[in-house]
Amino acid sequence: MALDKQHDSADADAVRGLIERWAAAVRAHDYEGILAEHAPGIVMFDVPPPLLSRGIDEYRRTWDLFFTVHEPGDAFDVLDLEVTAGRDVAFAVALMRCGGSHDGEGEAYLLDFRLTVGLRKLAGRWQIVHEHHSVPAD
Amino acid sequence: MALDKQHDSADADAVRGLIERWAAAVRAHDYEGILAEHAPGIVMFDVPPPLLSRGIDEYRRTWDLFFTVHEPGDAFDVLDLEVTAGRDVAFAVALMRCGGSHDGEGEAYLLDFRLTVGLRKLAGRWQIVHEHHSVPAD
């Protein structure tokens, strides 16, 4: 991807690091890590219904649902990430891949999806205030 | 929706106005208006495939496709919009509704979808560098 005139800043690096840590926490089913850098009022647009989840409790439940399919160690990978960061507002645009080929009980799956993340810097710390995950409609 | 600690600034108002103008241009099938405030390198995640469209020419073609269903004057409405604006980076999160009940040839339809928009201020002007439109997967 190529968004126009990327900022190439310490802030962009901080946001990139945050997103990679979050993805690693998802791979490990580490809820504390998944939720560590999210604002209480996060607005989540997830791949499956509902249309919208609001607040950290509803956000957490979207992961309960995902982990009925995704097993610890399955892929949840940032394939391509572009960060646009200002002084206290940033957003990130990514192509993502999740999946696993289970020899055990789980069914094999592979899903490429789109991710947009909105962030604010509060008290010197970047926080995720919005996530939008989706696949194209059939 | 309630993203944490909204900026309530002239910049947020400018972004809000931009998005409302863009939606009005979509309702009118006014391509010049639709494209007026978009960066050349826009990255678009649309409701239908493909996974990603890159650049203003591909972005324009996503509207060619939409206008095979949407007729001029059909709904394309911003139901709920939250803008987070910094000095030169902003993002907007919205619930949207499009549809039309056609007495003529077109089929009636109604679609609620999610919209996230990423913007940069360049030379004093806000520009859309990213759009993410989606519906939850079945």
CATH assignment of the domain containing A86: 3.10.450.50
Residue A40 CB: number of other CB atoms within 10 A?
A: 12
- Answer yes or no: is B41 within a domain: yes
pLDDT for residue B21 is more than 90: yes
Provide mean pLDDT across the span B72-79.
Answer: 96
In percent, the amount of chain B with pLDDT more than 90 equals 86
CB contact under 8 A, B137 and A84: no
pLDDT for residue B68 is more than 50: yes
Q: Which residues of A touch B45 (CB under 8 A)?
A: 114, 116, 134
pLDDT at B5: 45
Contacting A residues, span 36-95, partner chain B, CB-CB under 8 Å: 39-43, 45-52, 54, 82, 84-91, 93, 95
pTM of the entire predicted model: 0.93
Measured between alpha carbons, how far is residue A4 from residues A50, A131, B20, B37, B121 in Å? 32, 21, 23, 13, 11
Nearest-neighbour CA in chain A from B133: distance (Å): 8
- Answer yes or no: is A34 within a domain: yes
Give which of B111, B4, B71, B101 is closest to A127, Cα–Cα: B4
pLDDT in tens, chain A (138 residues): 545 444 558 999 999 999 999 999 999 999 999 999 999 999 999 999 999 999 999 999 999 999 999 999 999 999 999 999 999 999 999 999 999 977 666 678 899 999 999 999 999 999 999 999 999 998
- Answer yes or no: is A54 within a domain: yes
- Answer yes or no: is B1 within a domain: no
CA separation for the pair B81, B51 (Å, rounded): 24
- Answer yes or no: is B4 within a domain: no
Cβ atoms of B88 and B108 within 8 Å: the answer is: no
Half-sphere exposure of A59 (CA within 13 A, CB side): 23
Range of the domain at B100: 10-134
Contacting A residues, span 108-137, partner chain B, CB-CB under 8 Å: 112, 114, 116, 118, 120, 122, 127, 129-130, 132, 134-137
- Answer yes or no: is A3 within a domain: no
| Best residue in B53, B83, B109, B114 for a mutation probing chain A (most A CBs within 10 Å) | B114
Provide mean pLDDT across the span B26-41.
Answer: 98
Half-sphere exposure of B119 (CA within 13 A, CB side): 29
The DSSP output letter for B108 is P
- Answer yes or no: is A5 within a domain: no
For chain B, the domain total comes to: 1
Q: What is the pLDDT of residues B90-131, one digit of tens each?
A: 999 999 999 997 766 667 889 999 999 999 999 999 999 999
Classified as helix, coil or strand, B134 is: strand
Average pLDDT, chain B: 92
